[in-house]
């Protein structure tokens, strides 16, 4: 089970994901090389496998990222997949959105990621995960 954040350069006028018009095409964030360099700048110690998947260990959480595009290939979005606990995960997600000049949609509430929504969503996800793992 994971808490996921999908990072794109969503239209700035969109106040919620529901405001994004059908057929919207996300603009390019950068090349694979540029995006991985930006992630390395805010997630010190992140490693990228030959397949482009990034792995990062933060305080109390782990993060996988789906930045698998080749070095010179345009990237329009980045997936962040979190496991574990701790509000460091929310800070890491916000750091990624900031460095990429983008916004994230988090899967807890389905809304745009903010400091406040991220904390409440991540806490709700952790409570759900813990209930499922306990079998109740």
36-94 pLDDT per residue, tens: 999 999 999 999 998 889 999 999 899 999 888 989 999 999 999 998 876 788 899 99
At residue 135 the predicted structure's pLDDT band, cuts being 50, 70 and 90, is confident
Q: Quote the pLDDT of residue 136.
A: 59
Confidence (pLDDT) at 15: 92
| DSSP 8-state symbol, 20 | S
Single pTM value for the model: 0.87
- What sign has the CA pseudo-torsion 47, 32, 43, 110? negative
**Alpha-carbon gap, residue 119 to 29, rounded angstroms:** 25
Specify the 3-state DSSP secondary structure of 69: coil
pLDDT of residue 22: 93
Pull the structure tokens for residue 118: 């991220």
């Amino acid at each position: 089970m994971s808490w996921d954040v999908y990072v794109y350069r969503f239209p700035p006028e969109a106040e919620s994901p529901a405001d994004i018009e059908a057929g919207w095409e996300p603009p390019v964030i950068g090349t694979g090389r540029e995006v991985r360099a930006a992630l390395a700048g805010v997630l010190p110690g992140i490693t990228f496998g030959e397949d482009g998947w990034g792995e990062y260990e933060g305080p109390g959480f782990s993060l996988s990222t789906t930045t698998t595009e080749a070095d010179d290939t345009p990237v329009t979005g980045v997936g962040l997949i979190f496991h574990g606990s701790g509000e460091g995960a929310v800070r890491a997600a916000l750091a990624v959105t900031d460095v990429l000049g983008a916004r994230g949609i988090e899967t807890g509430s389905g809304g745009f990621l903010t400091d406040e929504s991220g904390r409440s969503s991540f806490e709700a996800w952790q409570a759900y995960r813990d209930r499922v793992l306990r079998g109740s």
